Amino acid sequence: MSATSKIQPLAQDPVSVAPEHYRVEFENEKVRVLRIRYEPHEKSVMREYPSQIQINLTVAHLVFHYPDGRTEPVEARAGRVLSFPASERLPENLSDFPYEAIAIEWK
């Protein structure tokens, strides 16, 4: 990650925009760690996400919706580590069970 990368502004901060899905687990001057949780068939809101690493705590059966109408399926087993580039997207849990992950964002 480049030195010019920054966490999204407060207006786009997931903890502020969707606190039912995102909780800060740890934060210091270099990194922020979030717990992500979506109930079955829940969606979040369209927002900008920084580059991040996610560790799936459960099986992932998600779809990302993008502003231009594209969608991207995301499927992974529990324990898998995924890397996502910065982008504007809306995540949706397609499964019949909760989805949970840990996200690491660099400041």
Does pLDDT of 60 surpass 80?
yes
Residue 5: pLDDT band (50, 70, 90) is very low
Q: Which domains does the chain have, with CATH numbers?
A: 10-106 (2.60.120.10)
Does pLDDT of 58 surpass 60?
yes
Secondary element (H or E) of residue 104: strand 99-106
Q: From 80, 72, 70, select the one nearest 100 (Cα to Cα).
A: 80
Q: pLDDT averaged over the chain?
A: 89
